[in-house]
């Protein structure tokens, strides 16, 4: 089967370490090609004493595709990058891995994308005009709108807005964006064996505006979008107060929750544990999953980073792309 692409992330962070840790176990290396820096990965393998070898390739056709062998495609090395430090060089390298992986997926050489973490400040220093993976992948794939979903064994959350300020998230709220997020949540249900998932939509304001006491976004935008989605046949209710809707989902009342802005949706997911969280970009012409944590510069190069979230992300991408 066509392999998955795993981009190494920011070479100054924990990306190289968690990549080799994740692929050294359970035969995952047979189904994955790392797009990154062979030298950085080789140093991590040696430092950690892992029982795995590294195979640098120039073309996908050269891959070994064997358990215990990590195939890596790429030439950018980490020598110019100081581990644990934000830099333009690291930002440029991280973007180059993603750009190459998307091109290979578009060409049909790879079937899905798993991403190790990148650093937004490093991208900015490098002049890369994207605030994160989500917006970058949309541009590279030529897609106008994509939607972020986070999930773990207890919650599945789809975001109306992602990497924008809270002020801009509120100002940009409209019926089209709300309906797009609900539709994305409904479509994502099939990946979990749910052809018609139960969707709970969170309100924007405290107590979902308490009948208009704390704002009119619920009545003017969110409720009409929910009604439009119902007319399309989706099982969706709300708007529900944001301080209880996630608890209700954990108790089994909803299969997915639509959150209005980044932190409203990510705080409950991350509170339940970073090791089990997976980020999925909905709306791309290919499957993309990612870890639910950052570059962790403070512990980079120390050999103590957990690869648990990356393992879950690889397994999710494999399952969803099959």
Q: What is the average pLDDT across 98-121?
A: 96
pTM value is 0.85
pLDDT at residue number 181: 96
With tokens 């989706």, the residue in question is: 234
**DSSP 8-state code for residue 9:** -
Find the Cα–Cα–Cα–Cα dihedral 245, 251, 256, 260, rounded to 10°.
20
CATH code that applies to domain 4-144+284-321:
3.40.718.10
Q: Is 153 exposed, middle or buried (0-12, 13-18, 19+ CB in 10 A)?
A: exposed
Contact 157, 256 (CB under 8 A): yes
Q: What distance in Å separates the CA atoms of residue 302 and residue 280, rounded to the nearest whole number? A: 28
276: confidence class by pLDDT, cuts 50, 70, 90: confident
What percent of the chain is modeled with pLDDT above 70? 98
Helix locations, 64-146, DSSP H: 88-106, 120-125, 133-141
Could you tell me the CATH superfamily of domain 153-269? Isopropylmalate Dehydrogenase (3.40.718.10)
Beta bridge partners of 115: 7, 290
Counting every residue written for the chain, the total comes to 322
320: confidence class by pLDDT, cuts 50, 70, 90: confident
203: confidence class by pLDDT, cuts 50, 70, 90: very high
pLDDT at residue number 33: 97
User: pLDDT tens-digit profile of 46-103?
Assistant: 999 999 999 999 999 999 999 999 999 985 554 578 899 999 999 999 999 999 999 9
Beta bridge partners of 69: 53
| 153-269 shares the fold of 4-144+284-321 | yes
Q: What distance in Å separates the CA atoms of residue 190 and residue 187, rounded to the nearest whole number? A: 6
> How many angstroms separate the most distant Cα atoms in the chain?
64
Q: Residue 186 above 80 pLDDT? A: yes
Q: Please list the helix, strand and coil fractions of the chain in percent, rounded to the nearest 5, in that order.
A: 45, 15, 40
**Of the listed ranges 53-67, 195-209, 268-282, the one predicted with least confidence:** 268-282
With tokens 């639509």, the residue in question is: 258
Listed by start position, the domains of the chain span 4-144+284-321, 153-269
Q: Which run of H or E residues covers position 46?
A: helix 38-48
Q: Which run of H or E residues covers position 159?
A: strand 156-159
What percent of the chain is modeled with pLDDT above 90? 78
């Amino acid at each position: 089967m066509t392999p998955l692409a795993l981009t190494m992330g920011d070479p100054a962070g924990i990306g190289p370490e968690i990549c080799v840790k994740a692929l050294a176990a359970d035969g995952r290396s047979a189904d994955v090609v790392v797009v990154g820096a062979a030298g950085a990965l080789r140093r991590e393998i040696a430092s950690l004493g892992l029982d795995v070898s590294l195979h640098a390739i120039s073309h996908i056709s050269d891959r070994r595709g064997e358990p215990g062998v990590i195939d890596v495609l790429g030439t950018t090395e980490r020598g110019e990058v100081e581990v644990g430090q934000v830099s333009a060089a690291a930002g440029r390298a991280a973007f180059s891995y993603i750009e190459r992986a998307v091109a290979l997926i578009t060409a049909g050489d790879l079937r899905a994308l798993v991403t190790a973490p990148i650093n937004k400040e490093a991208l900015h220093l490098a002049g890369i005009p994207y605030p994160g993976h989500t917006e970058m992948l949309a541009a590279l794939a030529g897609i106008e709108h994509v939607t972020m979903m986070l999930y773990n064994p207890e919650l599945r959350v789809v975001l109306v807005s992602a990497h924008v300020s809270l002020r801009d998230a509120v100002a940009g709220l409209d019926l089209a964006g709300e309906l797009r997020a609900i539709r994305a949540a409904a479509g994502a249900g099939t990946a979990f064996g749910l052809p018609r998932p139960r969707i709970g939509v969170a309100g924007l304001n405290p107590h979902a505006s308490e009948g208009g006491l704390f704002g009119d976004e619920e009545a003017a935008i969110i409720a009409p979008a929910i009604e439009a989605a119902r007319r399309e046949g989706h099982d969706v209710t709300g708007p529900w107060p944001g301080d209880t809707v996630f608890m209700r989902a954990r108790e089994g009342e909803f299969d997915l929750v639509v959150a209005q802005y980044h932190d409203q949706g990510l705080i409950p997911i991350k509170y339940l544990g970073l090791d089990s969280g997976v980020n999925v970009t909905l709306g791309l012409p290919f499957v993309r999953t990612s870890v639910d944590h950052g570059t962790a510069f403070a512990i980079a190069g120390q050999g103590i980073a957990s690869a648990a979230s990356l393992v879950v992300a690889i397994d999710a991408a494999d399952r969803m792309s099959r």
